Structure formats: structure tokens, C-alpha cells
């Protein structure tokens, strides 16, 4: 073998030894080029690494590759967060993205369960010390005691007020209530008087509506189910109505100041507002009315285990009147541009009127 053939054989052997598939620095696939010295991606001297078994110095880097002036790093991912509502935007916030359907429904239901859990613990505490069922039943039917435990409905206000702080630039209790619609901001005395009168008028309309729906449902049930429905005022209201005028007055005050306010803030101010933003006015109002009615009929579910037929009759008699009044309250809230003044007055006065009418019927009959 002559010297020329020996030289060519050594070059071929060197080429084979450097024939790596990937760059040991950047992992880029190395093209099949004979006598390739530098990585075509990062410019690393791969021949130097092969010969000396160490990383090359800066002098042995590819001189034709432009140096990187700035450090290479992965950018921090940016997550979209809806802009928080400023104090000036609390009234007109229809363009802001608020809580979605799952929170709109889940939080009020959670508040309802929390209230019943705390109330149940309170009653269990009383039962433990009473240990007399007759005394306990008498206590539970006492109008003053019922008025006192109604304070637990404040949970219906506390839970949404705490939650919506995350949507506010200035998360105060006052601003949370304004966002929920419980405010008189930008309302002068004349306009507040107008809202109160609207609430009083719709309270009367609500009583007429519920009575009409109840009579209509009774007629339909008697026709289709061939049963006779007898309303005994003593059985229906005698155990829960206040026994005297002072307790009646206290009961009515609680209905106006506490029950009406807390339920309207939770169901209309929070639930309906969130559902309307997500699903539109129609479905937001209907779903809120349905859930409001169902929550008020939890006690009827016990009839399902005792007598399914009685459960169906009781459910129809109670659900449709509750659904009708809740639908009216939802439409009123929508009409009043998501302000709760008229709604709170309407709800509280409606409850008061029903108690007074039931009390009168109980006394007379």
C-alpha cells in the first residue's frame, strides 16, 4: 500500500469515528458530512470533544456563529385574569365578567347547607341539655325562639360578601354589597321612595299571584287525581303562628329586615346575577326561580319515604306557588336594573302579609 492510499484510509477512519448522530451539547441531529468539525446548530467543536474528551474552549468555538448577547430563558406563562371592578364601576358592571354558573349555583347551595349545619348543631346542643321532647317541641314552636334562630340566615349575606371580594379593587364590605345590588348609591330620596312603593305594590301582587296559583293547582289536582283537598288553617298554621300581637309584630320585623334581605342578596344579588351573565336573562331568571322554590321545599321530601302519592300532591301544591313568586322577584330584579331595594321590600312585605293573613284566618276560623 503506497503513502497516498494510507493517508486516505486514515482520513476515512477519522470520519467514521466522528460520525456522531447527535451533537453532545445541544442534541441537534448532525448531518452526514465528511470531516465535519462544528455542530451546524450550536457551533460546538465536536472534533475537539472527541480528541480531548472535554468541552472546547471559547477559542475553539465556531468563529462563524454570532455570539448570543442575552441569556436564553423560557418566558413565564401569562394567565388571563378578569380586570377587577373599581369603585366607579360598581353600579354599571354589566360588561365585567363575573362568577360562572357553577359558582352561581354552588355557593348559594353551600351557604344553605352551612346554615342548616350550624342550626342543626345549635338545636342538638339545646336537645342535649333539655332531654325532654315535649319541652323541645314547645320551644321549636315558640314564635320568639323562631325569630331568634332566624339570625342564622345572616350566613346568606356573609358567604357571598366574602367571596366576591376577589372581584373588587377595593374589597370592602360596603363595595361587596353594592356589587350585589344592595345599595342606594346614586339614588336620591325621591327615587328611593319610588323603589319602596314599587316593592310594596309587588308584595300585594305577589300575594294575589300565589293565592291564584294555589287555587288553580288545587282545582287541577282535584280533577286529575280525583282527590278533595281540604285546607285546615289550624293544622297548617296554628303551630307556627305567633300566639299574640307583640310576637306577631316581632315576627313581621324579622321577615322584613332579615329574611327578605338575606334571601334576596343570596338568590337574586348573587345567583341570578351570575347566571344572567353566563346564560342570559331568560335562563338566569328561570333557574334561580326553580332553585329558590326547591330549597324551600326540602321538608316535603320526607313525605316521599312515607307516602309517594302524598309527596306528589304536596309537592305540586307547594312548588308552583313558590316558583311563581320567585319568578316574579327575578323579573322585578331584572326590571330594576339589578338593584335590590324594591326586591327586599317586596320579599319582606310579602312574607309579612302572608303571616298576617294566616294569623287572621287562624283567629277567625
Spell out the per-residue pLDDT of the chain, length 365, in tens: 455 554 555 444 444 444 567 777 777 777 777 677 777 777 777 777 777 767 766 554 555 455 554 455 556 665 556 678 888 888 887 777 789 999 999 999 999 999 999 988 888 888 777 777 777 677 777 777 778 888 999 999 999 999 999 999 999 999 999 999 999 888 899 999 999 999 999 999 999 999 999 899 888 888 887 776 655 543 334 445 666 788 888 888 888 889 999 999 999 999 999 999 999 999 999 999 999 999 988 877 766 667 777 778 888 888 999 999 999 999 999 999 999 999 999 999 999 999 888 888 777 66
Same domain as 111, residue 237: yes
CA triple 302-303-304, angle to 5 deg? 90
Same domain as 179, residue 40: no
Whats the size of the chain, residue-wise?
Answer: 365
Name the DSSP letter for residue 27.
-
Cα atoms found within 13 Å of the Cα of residue 294, Cβ hemisphere only? 10
What domain range is 196 assigned to?
98-364
CB-CB contact of 263 with 347 (8 Å): yes
Q: How far apart are CA 32 and CA 21, in angstroms?
A: 8
Q: How far apart are CA 22 and CA 34, in angstroms?
A: 15
Same domain as 216, residue 68: no
Q: What is the DSSP string of 311-338?
A: HHHHHHHHHHHHHHHHHHHHHHHHHTTT
Residue 7 domain flag: no
Q: Which of 280, 253, 260, 252 is nearest to 341 (CA)?
A: 260
CA triple 27-31-33, angle to 5 deg? 135
Same domain as 122, residue 33: no
Query: Over the range 289-325, which residues count as b (16 or more CB within 10 Å of their CB) and which as e?
Result: bebbbbbbeeebeebeeeeeeebebbbbbbbbbbbbb
Same domain as 175, residue 37: no
Same domain as 115, residue 227: yes
For 280: left if phi > 0, alpha if psi spans -120 to 50, otherwise beta; the answer is left
Structural domain count, the chain: 2
Residue finishing a domain among 57, 73, 89? 73
Same domain as 103, residue 23: no
What is the reported pLDDT for 117?
92
Residue 2 domain flag: no
Name the DSSP letter for residue 92.
S
Q: How far apart are CA 57 and CA 48, in angstroms?
A: 9
The three-state secondary structure class of 144 is: helix
Residue 324 domain flag: yes
What is the reported pLDDT for 233?
45
The three-state secondary structure class of 66 is: coil
From residue 73, give the alpha-carbon distance in Å to each of 67, 80, 220, 285.
Answer: 16, 22, 73, 50
Q: Give pTM, 2 decimals.
A: 0.74
What is the reported pLDDT for 238?
40
Same domain as 31, residue 146: no
Residue 78 domain flag: no
Helix orientation angle between 281-295 and 101-130, rounded to the nearest 10 degrees: 10
What is the reported pLDDT for 50?
73
The three-state secondary structure class of 40 is: coil
Residue 38 phi, psi (nearest 5): -115, 150
CB-CB contact of 46 with 30 (8 Å): yes
Same domain as 360, residue 269: yes
Residue 327 domain flag: yes
Q: What is the DSSP string of 265-277?
A: IIIIIIIIHHHHH
Same domain as 218, residue 324: yes
Name the DSSP letter for residue 347.
H
Same domain as 62, residue 181: no
Radius of gyration of the chain (CA): 37
Same domain as 299, residue 192: yes
Q: What is the DSSP string of 217-281?
A: HHHHHHHHS-------HHHHHTTTS-SSHHHHHHHHHHIIIIIHHHHIIIIIIIIIHHHHHHH-H
Burial class (CB in 10 A: 0-12, 13-18, 19+), 351: buried
Q: Which of 83, 271, 104 is nearest to 166 (CA)?
A: 83
Q: How far apart are CA 167 and CA 98, in angstroms?
A: 8
Amino acid at each position: 500500500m503506497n503513502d497516498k492510499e494510507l493517508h486516505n484510509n486514515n482520513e476515512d477512519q477519522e470520519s467514521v469515528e466522528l460520525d456522531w448522530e447527535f451533537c453532545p451539547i445541544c442534541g441537534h441531529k448532525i448531518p452526514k458530512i465528511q470531516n465535519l468539525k462544528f455542530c451546524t446548530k450550536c457551533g460546538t467543536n465536536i472534533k475537539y470533544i472527541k480528541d480531548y474528551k472535554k468541552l472546547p474552549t471559547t477559542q475553539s468555538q465556531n468563529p462563524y456563529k454570532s455570539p448570543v448577547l442575552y441569556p436564553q430563558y423560557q418566558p413565564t406563562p401569562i394567565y388571563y385574569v378578569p380586570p377587577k371592578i373599581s369603585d366607579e364601576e360598581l353600579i354599571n358592571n354589566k360588561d365585567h365578567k363575573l362568577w360562572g354558573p357553577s359558582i352561581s349555583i354552588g355557593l348559594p347551595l353551600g351557604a344553605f347547607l352551612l346554615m342548616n349545619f350550624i342550626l342543626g348543631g345549635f338545636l342538638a346542643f339545646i336537645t342535649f341539655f333539655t332531654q325532654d321532647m315535649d319541652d323541645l317541641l314547645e320551644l321549636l314552636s315558640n314564635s320568639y325562639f323562631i325569630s331568634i334562630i332566624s339570625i342564622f340566615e345572616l350566613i346568606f349575606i356573609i358567604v357571598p360578601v366574602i367571596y366576591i371580594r376577589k372581584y373588587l379593587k377595593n374589597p370592602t364590605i360596603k363595595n361587596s354589597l353594592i356589587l350585589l345590588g344592595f345599595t342606594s348609591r346614586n339614588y336620591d330620596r325621591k327615587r328611593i321612595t319610588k323603589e319602596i312603593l314599587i316593592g310594596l305594590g309587588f308584595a300585594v301582587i305577589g300575594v294575589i299571584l300565589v293565592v291564584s296559583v294555589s287555587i288553580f293547582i288545587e282545582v287541577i289536582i282535584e280533577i286529575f287525581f280525583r282527590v278533595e283537598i281540604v285546607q285546615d288553617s289550624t293544622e297548617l298554621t296554628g303551630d307556627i303562628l305567633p300566639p299574640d300581637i307583640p310576637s306577631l309584630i316581632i315576627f313581621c320585623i324579622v321577615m322584613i329586615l332579615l329574611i327578605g334581605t338575606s334571601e334576596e342578596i343570596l338568590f337574586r344579588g348573587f345567583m341570578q346575577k351570575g347566571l344572567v351573565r353566563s346564560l342570559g336573562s331568560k335562563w338566569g331568571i328561570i333557574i334561580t326561580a326553580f332553585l329558590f322554590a326547591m330549597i324551600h321545599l326540602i321538608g316535603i321530601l320526607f313525605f316521599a319515604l312515607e307516602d309517594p302519592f302524598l309527596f306528589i300532591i304536596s309537592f305540586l301544591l307547594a312548588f308552583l306557588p313558590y316558583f311563581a313568586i320567585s319568578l316574579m322577584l327575578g323579573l322585578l330584579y331584572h326590571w330594576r336594573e339589578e338593584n335590590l331595594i324594591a326586591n327586599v321590600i317586596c320579599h319582606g312585605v310579602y312574607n309579612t302579609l302572608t303571616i298576617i293573613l294566616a294569623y287572621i284566618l287562624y283567629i277567625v276560623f
